[in-house]
Every structure is written in C-alpha cells, then in structure tokens.
Amino acid sequence: MEELISVKRVSKIFEDSGVNTGGSVEAVGKVDFQVRRGEFVSLLGPSGCGKSTLLDIVAGLEPPTSGEVLIAGQTVKGPHPKTAMVFQSMSVFPWRTALENVEFGIELKGMEKKARRERARQVTQLVGLAGFEDKYPSQLSGGMNQRLAIARALALDPEILLMDEPFGALDEQTRFLMGLELLRIWEETRKTILFVTHSIAEAIQLSDRVLVMSARPSVIREEIPILLPRPRTIETLTTEIATQIERRIWDILKVEAAKGMTPDGR
C-alpha cells in the first residue's frame, strides 16, 4: 500500500503569545510517521500533549516550525482538497437544519444547489440520519450532531478524514456505538483516517495502528499495531490480546501523563 500521508521531522514551537507563558512553548518535537491509503491510524496521547496541534499541521491549518507534511507526494501548504476535518466540540451550525449543515462544505466549494442537495441526502442516509434532514441541531442528541459533522466531511468525498477527538464530548456508551458506526462508514467508503484521541479504549477499538505520543514536546513514543480481527465487536475487543495491548499502552502513557502533570508541563 502506498503512503498517502507522510509526516517528516515535523516540529512546532509557539512563540510567546504574551499570556503568562513566559517564553515560547514547544508543542511538537520531531515527529515522523506515515499513513497508508485506506489505513485507520490513531494519535493517542495525554491531554495537552500537542496531538491536536500535530493534526492541525497535517490539515494545513498550522505551519510546522520545521519539517514538512506530504499528502499524496505534495507538500502541504494549506488545507489540502483531499482532506476533510471533523472537530472535537459542537461544530455544527445551530442556525442550519441537519441537511443544510451537511451541505455546508460542498456549498463553500461551489457545488450547484440541486447536486449538493442530493449528495447531502446520500451522506445523511449513510450516517444513519435519514428522516432527520429538516431538524435543527438543538433538536438532535450530541451523538447525532457528531454524525452530522462526519456527514459534512464525507459529503466532500475526501480521501482523508482528519478527526480531532470527534467523540470526546460524548458519554462512554454513545462513544462506543459511534465508534462502531464510524467503522461501518469506513468499511463502506474506504477512506484513510487519521484520528486523534486520548481514550485508549477508543484507539484500540478503531485503529489499525496506534501512535502513542509523549507529553509535551510530543514525539511518538511507540507505534502499536492493533492486530485484532475486523469487524471489531465486544467479543474481539475483550479477548486476552486486546487486554494485553491495553496494558502495554497504559504502561507507556502513565509515565507520559505524569510528566504532563508537573507544573512546567515537561
């Protein structure tokens, strides 16, 4: 399989923004990794470790201080047309109906009205929200709104989905079910997914590989292949192998999380 995303010796230093930081912050150390076409890779790390910053760099929203990101062989200079992002918190517009929210991305890209209506209906159905097209986000649950955010990204038909803790605000059960939904959508559409999370269970549930990050400045501590059969179910996720993987990730993370809790964050 070819490498679709290549992150090469990327680092990020935020210069002193003046707000009681007393100097620049090194968010991302030297990071190297690749994601192959069709792969599901998670960036897992303690909170505040700079994994979201790393995702923003891959998304072209934030320039790296050094190093470069290649998508399909091209250096990333701004948001790449082959990528679409799904965000952490409520990013759906309360003033738009479900369908209009799904249309937002393709509307900005200039797709003509009739075509985008149809496309939006298709993806709304794909994420399991058929029948809710005319509801407003306030009338839908948190999980349903996150489905909308995913549908909005899928409507763009990107090759790569960049997901920044998309289920972070959901309760554990909903989170697990949304994970299963995401896997189903992933199997159907064969997208390449780079997924940021701080939940070990979520990373194991979803990924082909988990990149475990260190505390700030974040580097990749270890790459852990998740050799569990697909489709992933409660059964496959509670086997002895799954538990061993979880323990191994915990062993790495507890050291890093402790570092993240010292006053200067190092």
139 interacts with other proteins by CB under 8 A: no
144 interacts with other proteins by CB under 8 A: no
Strand partners, 192: 160
Interface pick for other proteins out of 65, 70, 93, 222 (rule CB under 8 A): 93
136 interacts with other proteins by CB under 8 A: yes
DSSP H helical segments within the chain, as ranges?
51-59, 98-108, 113-126, 142-155, 172-189, 200-206, 234-237, 240-260
Please, what sign has the CA dihedral across residues 205, 211, 215, 218? negative
Closest separation in Å from C-beta 204 to other proteins: 27
182 interacts with other proteins by CB under 8 A: no
DSSP string for 46-109:
-TTSSHHHHHHHHHTSS--SEEEEEETTEEPSS--TTEEEE-SS--S-TTS-HHHHHHHHHHHT
For residue 149 the two structure tokens come to: 């955010």
89 interacts with other proteins by CB under 8 A: yes
Stretch that binds other proteins, among 10-18, 80-88, 125-133, 171-179 (CB under 8 A): 80-88
Closest separation in Å from C-beta 78 to other proteins: 7
Report, in angstroms and rounded to the nearest whole number, the Rg of the chain calculated over CA atoms. 19
Interface pick for other proteins out of 34, 82, 87, 174 (rule CB under 8 A): 87
**Contact indicator for 20, 5 with CB cutoff of 8 Å:** no
Between the two ends of the chain, the Cα-to-Cα distance in Å is: 37
Stretch that binds other proteins, among 22-30, 88-96, 200-208, 253-261 (CB under 8 A): 88-96
72 interacts with other proteins by CB under 8 A: no
32-61 residues near other proteins, rule: CB under 8 A? 59, 61
193 interacts with other proteins by CB under 8 A: no
Residues that bind other proteins (CB under 8 A): 59, 61, 78-79, 81, 84-85, 87-91, 93-95, 104-105, 107-109, 136, 138, 156
